[in-house]
Amino acid sequence: MPKIDDPSGPFDDATVIEVDATSIDGFAGTIEGQVTANYIPYAARIVPSYELGARFGFANRSAEVKAARDRHTDCLRGAIDQLRGFAEASQALVAAARFVAEKYRDSDAFSAATVDEVAQELNAAMRTVQKQRGDAV
């Protein structure tokens, strides 16, 4: 049987897509491990101090200092949102990678089953034809 990428075969313009689902699982595990072991603990340490807002200029009644303090507080709150967003995006990436790996494994299993079924059907048909001709194997 010719290989799919074999130019002498019937599928000379097709390209095999080889996906190592285990590598995708490994990627997902690495991301999840880093987020769990490093990112979340670090974010958990800094978020409480960011939630306090700006910690300067309390005794200064200057409008400029107040504006700077307000802007700094807004930036800290934005940073908190970004920290949470990164964690959520990482979790989504992990889930998507695991989903893709699962679908590739399912596809490979289905393809293998389908190829086996086709081979069995062809062999059965050949045996039937041979029996009809009287030269059964």
Least confident of 14-18, 33-37, 74-78, 82-86: 14-18
- Reported as a single tens digit per residue, the pLDDT across 78-96 is 999 999 999 999 999 999 9
Please give the Cα distance from 124 to 28 (Å, whole number): 44
Domain boundaries, the chain: 21-133
